[in-house]
Amino acid sequence: MDERTTRLREIVGRAAELAGAQRDAYLASACGADAELAGEARELLAAALVDDAFLRPLAPRAAASGASEPRAGSVIGAFTLVRAIGSGGMGQVWEAEQHAPRRRVALKLVHADCATSAALARFEREAGLLARLRHPGIAQVIASGVDDAGGGAPGARGARRPWYALELIEQATPLAQAARALPLRRRIELLADVCDAIHHAHLRGVVHRDLKSANVLVDAAGRARVIDFGIARELDAGAGLTHSGELLGTLGSMSPEQLSGDPALVDARTDVWALGVLGYELACGSPPFPAQGRALPALARAIEQDAPRPPSELAPEVERDLELVLLHALEKDPARRYASADALRADLSNWLAGRPIVARPATTLYQLRMFARRHRAASAALAAIVVVSLAAAAISTRFGFQARAAERQSARRFDDVRALARSVLFELHDSIERVPGATEARQKLAAKGLEYLDLLERDAADDALLLCEIGEGRLRLAE
């Protein structure tokens, strides 16, 4: 291995345990003026957000600093290492044999050179959080401690390496892999079981924050078991060891509020989102926001802004109600998701039992609001058009009201004239016809009546009844 690759390993391994401004400052210091090295380091760190396996070959090995590597037969605490069964950027997982009582366990170790104060604190917290969880769907902690990583080797620094032992899940298979051979209903039953386990953690104040297929194993008996609470957060612990601007987790499973980098926004509904991602994968065979072929910023933008494709488009066997349940868990706004993992489990159970579900499609108003959030510039222009259109409509409506009001007023006046003409020509004229000396008054009424008839005739148009009344009036005046 050349010197540059070794240096890149060290830089990336150490930077992975820092956050936000601290990470940026460390990279600037470690890479100096070597812009190419800094670019490579940042790309590898970013890739680790999508899949932490990216950091596995780059994690600095303990041997590089003189600390001894664990190997089969090494004794750590009351356990003898048997074989390595997993590795990550921070450490390894070994199958080990406990001395008393005699049993096989899984032993998780931190790489000695990754044992920064922040990493150690996080590791110890994981052991503490797991110790308070007692659920058949969560791997149980058996013991924990700290080992001397130097192991007495010449030149060893005597680094301290924390560990904890938990129950070994026999013939463990990642959930997505195990689900491939299962019918849809059985896959959803497993998801409901995971929801129940996560709800148990939430009731004890623990949010997982990194739920994904690799962290849910299916054992030999077909039971789902949740593991790796390494970046879990206590609900009542405030920011704790997590700093504002720090992104922890796997990008493909991160919720929009996790991407904001504000730890205050993370709560139980963050795990509900991850359960929705997991359920979507189980139902469709692919994630709701595929990482393949996308730059990391584009993937993050899709998670924050884009609606996932309806699961039924990818897997026709997914019924409408199940689709609504999964999409409800994937609402961008935490307030619109299921309030708890148990609420999601209950709706999955409703679907499994053929009962009505609680989830309902998003309203048109909400969809318009989300469109506006995704397309702010276009929405601003559209809003301006809408405002102008509404203003024009308001003005037009006002003039329309005024025109109709004038028309109604004109009609009322026309009716008044018509009624007055009838009164003059028929009722009033008849009432004074036999009054002595009323000839002059009758003549004046006849003249006024003719004026009214002339007015009515101009506006009579095709009103046959009115024309008949006018004709009758003229005949009356002729008498």
pLDDT on residue 288: 96
pLDDT digits (tens, 9 = 90+) for 283-315: 999 999 998 878 878 888 999 999 999 999 999
Q: From the candidates 193, 210, 271, 347, which is the catalytic residue?
A: 210
Q: Is 182 in the same domain as 282?
A: yes
List, in sequence order, every residue forming a beta bridge with 103; answer none if it has no partner: 98
Q: Supply the pLDDT for residue 283.
A: 97
Beta-sheet pairing, 216-218 with 173-174: antiparallel
**Whether 301 and 405 share a structural domain:** no
Mean pLDDT of 231-246: 46
What is the domain count for the chain?
4
- Does 44 or 75 have the greater pLDDT score? 75
Q: Which residue has the higher pLDDT, 156 or 432?
A: 432
Same domain, 342 and 301: yes
Dist CA 112 CA 149 (whole Å): 6
Name the percent of the chain lying above pLDDT 70.
61
Containing structural domain, residue 410: 382-478
> Which domain-ending residue is among 349, 374, 399?
374
Domain check: are 16 and 69 in the same one?
Answer: no
Picking from 168, 202, 218, the residue at the C-terminal end of a domain is 168
- The answer on 313 and 195 residing in a single domain is yes
Residue 415 among the catalytic residues: no
Residues near 133 by Cβ (< 8 Å), separated by ≥ 6?
Answer: 140, 200, 201, 204, 206, 229
Same domain, 86 and 219: no
3-state helix, strand and coil shares in percent for the chain, rounded to the nearest 5: 55, 10, 30
The pLDDT of residue 281:
96
Q: Tell the residue number behind the tokens 């897997």, with chain if given.
A: 315
Q: Are residues 322 and 183 in the same domain?
A: yes
Predicted local confidence at residue 365, as pLDDT: 52
Question: Is the peptide bond prior to 310 cis by the omega test (within 30 degrees of 0)?
Answer: no
The reply to whether 152 and 24 lie within a common domain is no
Predicted model pTM: 0.62
How many residues does the structure list for the chain?
479
In eight-state DSSP terms, residue 423 is I
Alpha helix stretches (DSSP H) within 221-375: 256-259, 268-284, 296-305, 311-314, 320-329, 341-353, 364-374
Percentage above 90 pLDDT, the chain: 34
Residue carrying structure tokens 């997590």: 242
pLDDT class of 34 with cuts at 50, 70, 90: confident
Cα–Cα dist 30/391, whole Å: 60
Q: What are phi and psi of 237, to 5 degrees?
A: -100, 5
| Cα 267–Cα 271–Cα 274 angle in degrees, nearest 5 | 140
Q: Does residue 125 share a domain with residue 85?
A: yes
> For residue 134, what is the domain's CATH number?
3.30.200.20
Same domain, 467 and 419: yes
Secondary structure letter of residue 424 according to DSSP:
I
The rounded Cα 138 to chain-centroid distance in angstroms is 25
pLDDT band at residue 393 under the 50/70/90 scheme: low
> Where among 346, 374, 402 does a domain terminate?
374
Regarding whether 190 and 150 lie in a shared domain, the answer is no
Round to whole Å and give the CA distance between 251 and 248: 8
Please, what's the b/e burial string for 352-371 (b: 16 or more CB within 10 A of its CB; e: otherwise)?
eeeeebebeebeeeeeeebe
Query: Quick one: 308 and 357 in the same domain?
Result: yes
